[in-house]
Amino acid sequence: MNYLFIMYPWERVKPLNDTTLRLIHETVDRGYTVAMTVGANLTIRDSTPMAFCKVFEKGKVPKSIPAFYKAAKFKEQMLPLAGFDVIFMRANPPLDSIVLNFLDSVKNDVFIINSIEGLREANNKLYTAAFHDPKKEIIPVTHVSKNKEYLQRVIKESNADKMIMKPLNGYGGSGVIVLEKGADKNISSLLDFYINTGKDDSSYVIVQEYVEGAEKGDIRVLMLHGEPIGAMRRVPAEGDARSNLSAGGTYEKHVLNKAEKRLCKVVGSKLVKDGLFFVGLDLIEGKLIEVNVLSPGGITYINKLNKTNLQKKVIDYCDDSVKSKETSSVRRGELRKTVKDA
């Protein structure tokens, strides 16, 4: 098998807890040809989509993942994207649409996780906001806009004492704040900041119903082909509204309850339909807060809590998907030959 990881720079990897590193280690340990690149290194040569890659040198692989990270050696080569069996998208948000344009040309030849169409549809928080939930059973009431006056009206008319405000393209808990009804005087300046400090002329802002119990943390669920394969509770640091581990939160073991399992089943069928095979869900009190499709994390912590090896399940799934596609292609070729020879 040949694997390509499109990700963040190698020097930014945090070896103690990085999910991407666990996935890479699993593929290298299997003796596969494994390469990594960043979006800016995609290119075209003679009409062939290519990438400037760092290819892991083969040899003895340390069982300790931090030791593997430290000892890893690479050779740099320009390689064709269509030469890989699996392309794993592990870049941090926001999504670079140009990267998807490069991958469009090989999406029928290579198993891409997650699919190009799925990433286009679900790469930001609009995917959750637009989820069909007429009875408000699984999605908190959510408003998305860059119209300051409208958002002020939404906040003023809300019956809730608290609401959540966050940037549409944020990740890792960045920019998430709790709005208190008694802080009306600050809302105008906060909206000015959120709307006017983006990379573009203006940025979309999410204002969302505060789910009671959020102060206790949220549940991160890792989904593989529409099924939960692991979960943990993330607990906010004292004095912080964010549960993200990157924001100082801690983690605890969690077993999904009946309501959470039902939510996963409902959401899982849509994920598979949309080509979103490896996904992180963030739940609070039985409500779906976010769907993470670009670079969902948590494998390291869930493994520790449950003495499991989720990266093995994920790579097994990718391997099986490639083999299934190859078998189907061979079978179709045989059937086409039968018809041709008739």
Q: What is the 3-state secondary structure (H, E, C) of 67-129?
A: HHHHHCCEEEEEEEHHHCCEEEECCCCCCCHHHHHHHHCCCCCCEEECCHHHHHHHCCCHHHH
Sequence length of the chain is 342
By three-state DSSP, how is residue 143 classified?
A: strand
Handedness of CA 187, 218, 228, 95 (dihedral sign): positive
DSSP code string of 225-264: TTEEEEEEEEEPPTT-S---GGGT-EEEE----HHHHHHH
Where the chain has pLDDT below 50, the residues are none
CA-based nearest residue to 200, from 164, 169, 173: 169
Sketch the domain layout of the chain as residue ranges: 2-113, 141-209, 214-316
Say which CATH superfamily domain 141-209 falls into.
ATP-grasp fold, A domain (3.30.1490.20)
Tell me which DSSP letter residue 331 carries: H
Q: Does domain 2-113 have CATH number 3.10.20.30?
A: no
Task: State the pTM of this model.
Answer: 0.86
Q: Crossing angle for the helix pair 310-340 and 299-306, nearest 10 degrees?
A: 110
Judged on CB neighbours under 10 Å (0-12, 13-18, 19+), 54 is buried
By three-state DSSP, how is residue 223 classified?
A: strand
The predicted pLDDT at position 90 comes to 95
d(CA 122, CA 119): 5
Contact in structure between 75 and 52 (CB atoms under 8 Å):
no
Q: Does domain 214-316 have CATH number 3.30.470.20?
A: yes
The predicted pLDDT at position 137 comes to 82
CA-CA-CA-CA dihedral for 38, 41, 42, 46, to nearest 10: -160
By three-state DSSP, how is residue 288 classified?
A: strand
Strand-pairing partners, residue 204, are none
d(CA 15, CA 70): 9
Cα 285–Cα 288–Cα 291 angle in degrees, nearest 5:
140
The predicted pLDDT at position 56 comes to 98
Asked, as a colleague might, if the bond just before 114 is cis with ω within 30 of 0, I would say: yes
